[in-house]
Amino acid sequence: TSIGLTYSPADVVKEDGTIVLRSSNIQDGEIDYKDLVRVNKKIKDSLFTKKDDILICARNGSSRLIGKNALISDVDAGHSYGAFMMVYRSEDNRFIRQLLCTKRYFAQVGENLGARINQITTSDMNSFEFFFPQSKEERNKIALFLRIIDERISTQKKIIEKLESLIKGLCQTLFNFEEYSTYFLGDICSITTGKLDANAMVENGKYPFFTCAEEVFSIDEYAFDAEALLISGNGANLGYIHYYNGKFNAYQRTYVLDKFAIDINYVRLYLETFLKYRIEQEKNTGNTPYIVLGTLSKMKIKVPNTITQQKIIQSIATLKEKFSIEKQSLKKYEEQKRYLLSKMFI
């Protein structure tokens, strides 16, 4: 087990340097190259990754990131790694990598976190205890079997990413033809807000209560009875959109859009595509970012004829259904992996 490279800002270069893998380069158990740092300095041979090394986050400002890890593939070999990272190297790494996905591993990480600094040391790592099959052949079989599941999960994530990109690109195209009529959002629907405090919800209430959270709460009194879009007006979920048809209530910073002059499903798809760009232009910042009524009411929306609206709705709905099915499949694969880990490494 070894700790990685120490470097200074003066060593960092934009191109032609050595890639230094950091915590952000481990995403979902795989090496990710979206956020790269390169350095120009002499590096010892021992600080370059090799195939089947396990790269581990050893130190981070966020304790939940400590211990996350990835197996180095052929493509990932030959890079260096930062001083907040460690590499574990052994002849059994394909098997050990699966041990480092278990609850037992992360429990030991938690037990060894520093009191003042979120870190595990090389001695901590080397002291972790696991159950090992005595047979090398059995360890190899287990590693191979679980790796096949890992590869299937990785493939499933790529399928979902491609679908998400396809839906996004299709929406950008279908909503943007010049011959469409242009309206202000406030001219094709009514926009109001709820009247209640966020803590007005009650447990097991009769009606849905929409706040600025993704979660829907409940309440015993309703203020609206409509087919509506509900948009979060502040906080971390700024711009999040709910659809609901029936009796409900809403928080005072949740915008309620109803009484639509065109198909509500078309408007919903349009807002899901373009509202975030509008918010970036208009949002007020501070301790809690928020939008004002004009952000929505003065937002321009392009509207085709009714027949075209329905074609767009059906096209996107078909892809979204496929997207939902693929996400469910991913969830099942991940559940299968967790189950097998819990049974194989008791």
For residues 95 and 142, is the Cβ–Cβ distance under 8 A? yes
CA 156, chain centre distance (Å): 15
Q: Is the dihedral of CA 244, 245, 250, 253 positive or negative?
A: positive
Residue written as token pair 């709460």? 217
235: left (phi over 0), alpha (psi -120 to 50) or beta: left
User: Looking at residue 284, what is its pLDDT?
Assistant: 73
User: Looking at residue 49, what is its pLDDT?
Assistant: 97
The set of residues, in sequence order, having a beta carbon less than 8 Å from that of 293 and lying 6+ positions away, is: 191, 193, 255
Given pLDDT bands bounded at 50, 70 and 90, which one contains residue 12? very high
Once rounded to an integer, what is the mean pLDDT over residues 39-58? Answer: 96
pLDDT in tens, 173-206: 999 888 999 999 999 999 999 999 989 999 999 9
pLDDT in tens, 63-101: 999 999 999 999 999 999 999 999 999 999 999 999 999
Cα separation of 316 and 304, whole Å? 15
- Checking if the pLDDT of 285 tops 80, the result is no
User: Looking at residue 176, what is its pLDDT?
Assistant: 86
- Rounded to 5°, the CA angle 93-98-102 comes to 135
User: Looking at residue 346, what is its pLDDT?
Assistant: 62
User: Looking at residue 210, what is its pLDDT?
Assistant: 97
Cα separation of 86 and 5, whole Å? 9
Other beta carbons less than 10 A from residue 52's beta carbon: 18
Residue written as token pair 């070894």? 2
Cα separation of 77 and 93, whole Å? 14
User: Looking at residue 248, what is its pLDDT?
Assistant: 98
Given pLDDT bands bounded at 50, 70 and 90, which one contains residue 252? very high
Cα separation of 201 and 189, whole Å? 27
User: Looking at residue 27, what is its pLDDT?
Assistant: 94
Given pLDDT bands bounded at 50, 70 and 90, which one contains residue 289? confident
- Checking if the pLDDT of 291 tops 80, the result is yes
Average per-residue pLDDT for the chain: 94
Once rounded to an integer, what is the mean pLDDT over residues 106-122? Answer: 91
**pTM of the shown model:** 0.77
Question: Judging by DSSP bridges, how do beta strands 18-21 and 37-39 pair with one another?
Answer: antiparallel
User: Looking at residue 45, what is its pLDDT?
Assistant: 94
DSSP of 229-291: EEEE-BSTTTT-EEEEEEEEEEBTTEEEEES-SS-HHHHHHHHHHHHHHHHHHH-B-SSS-B-
Instruction: Please name which of 182, 179, 173 lies closest in space to residue 300, comparing C-alpha atoms.
Output: 182
Once rounded to an integer, what is the mean pLDDT over residues 41-50? Answer: 96
For residues 100 and 54, is the Cβ–Cβ distance under 8 A? yes
Given pLDDT bands bounded at 50, 70 and 90, which one contains residue 243? very high
Instruction: Please name which of 186, 194, 177, 312 lies closest in space to residue 261, comparing C-alpha atoms.
Output: 186
Other beta carbons less than 10 A from residue 145's beta carbon: 13
CA 135, chain centre distance (Å): 39
Residue written as token pair 């009524």? 293
Once rounded to an integer, what is the mean pLDDT over residues 32-49? Answer: 95
Q: Which amino acid is at 43?
A: I
For residues 58 and 66, is the Cβ–Cβ distance under 8 A? yes
User: Looking at residue 282, what is its pLDDT?
Assistant: 79
Cα separation of 125 and 340, whole Å? 24
- Checking if the pLDDT of 23 tops 90, the result is yes
Cα separation of 56 and 1, whole Å? 10
